[in-house]
Amino acid sequence: MIYLDYSANTPVDQAVLERFCQLEQRYTGNPNSDHAAGREAKQKMDAITAGIADALQVLPEEIMYTSGASEANNLAIKGISHAGRHIGKHIISTPLEHSSVSGALTALQQRGYEIDLLDIRRDGTIDPEHLRELLRRDTVLVAVCAVDSELGTVQPIQEIARIVKDFPDCRLHVDATQAVGKIPVSFDGADTMSFAPHKFYGLNGSGILLKRKGVILEPLIHGGASTTIYRSGTPALALAGAAEQALALALAQLSARLEVVQKWNTLLRTELAKYERVRINSPQNSVPHILNISVAGVRGTDFQQALDRHGICVSVKSACSVPNTPSRAVFAVSRDRKQAVSSWRISLSHLTTQEEIHAFLSAFDLCYKELTL
């Protein structure tokens, strides 16, 4: 089996797994319990949180632990919108968002919120002038991904933040799930930012929401303070420690990992461009980890299943998307519904080997000839 779906999930690093097991076995007490075991666990939890904060250059009190990026996105989007409903019910987002963002927005729309989507330019980035046109005094939230999960497009977050800053009652949420641990990321300008360690060789079941100090959210989960008043639940010390370990490793090895991934992306672009029916959907300014392509006349699901029969794991859209529907991201860039239906995604890792790349290209050639006859 050759795994080329690293944007959906990554294998846990052995050091991360060992850190989780060590902490899970060592600290028995609930960090919120007022006894020796609880105080010991809280001291360790605080140290872990401080380590994550230092790595991300944020304040420890700006870190909120969640069950994953989907929960973090829902907490930020619904929490900000509900807290600001006395100001207005207008929200701006993009057609590039992960389903945990678009789904949260749909739920809000059903409760009377007005959702506007930004125009996407041919390079996959949002149109800043359209953002300026859409912003209103009753706009309470702008939700934009730092890197979109299907095309890998990097959005101009700092420029977006400068535009939103002119509207002091509006908050900016950034879904950085495909960015943190893969490319340099800054929390500057954002009010909330989400990510999950399982995207950079951490454990599933944990996520983090950064919330700027002073930003008010309405909680999704009620019933206790936990590590924050905004998200109840017993603090998961071992998961937090594993997240700290995964983040430290990812940031320390960022340049080296990026260099390997860039090499494979360049090779794939060169080789796949030789096929007459292949269209490269990921713009040149995309992160190298994601390469989205279409084969004209062949549904993305059909090509993905054909590759699967050869033991090659790729995906059609993101893993959380609704199946058998056109890619909204590809359609936004290409303006071509057939190209969006034909699209699928290769996602790479520093763990990807030259042998795997060559095996993929051989399998692709066989599938291409079979499906384009």
> Given this model, what pLDDT does residue 373 score?
81
Q: Is the whole-model pTM more than 0.85?
A: yes
- In CATH, the number for domain 14-252 is 3.40.640.10
> Given this model, what pLDDT does residue 50 score?
98
Contact 108, 81 (CB under 8 A): yes
> Given this model, what pLDDT does residue 369 score?
96
Q: How far apart are CA 74 and CA 312, in angstroms?
A: 32
Delimit the domains of the chain by residue range.
2-9+254-362, 14-252
Res. 205 pLDDT band, cuts 50 70 90: very high
pLDDT of 227 > 90? The answer is no
Sign (positive or negative) of CA dihedral 344, 107, 61, 155? positive
- Mean pLDDT check: name the lowest of 8-17, 55-64, 151-160, 330-339: 330-339
pLDDT of 231 > 80? The answer is yes
Residue 274 tokens read as 């030789």
Q: Which of 21, 170, 313, 320 is catalytic?
A: 320
Q: How far apart are CA 1 and CA 229, in angstroms?
A: 45
Confirm whether 2-9+254-362 and 14-252 share one CATH topology.
no
Average pLDDT, the chain: 95
Task: Scan for tokens 């001291």, then name that residue.
Answer: 43
Sign (positive or negative) of CA dihedral 59, 44, 12, 8? negative
Res. 224 pLDDT band, cuts 50 70 90: confident
pLDDT of 323 > 70? The answer is no
**C-alpha distance from residue 87 to each of 81, 83, 92, 330, 361 (Å):** 9, 9, 15, 34, 54
Identify the helix (H) or strand (E) that includes residue 202: none
Res. 324 pLDDT band, cuts 50 70 90: low
Q: At what angle do helices 237-252 and 36-56 cross, to 10 degrees?
A: 30
Catalytic status, residue 170: no
Architecture of domain 2-9+254-362: Alpha-Beta Complex (3.90)
Q: How far apart are CA 76 and CA 78, in angstroms?
A: 6
Res. 326 pLDDT band, cuts 50 70 90: confident
Res. 95 pLDDT band, cuts 50 70 90: very high
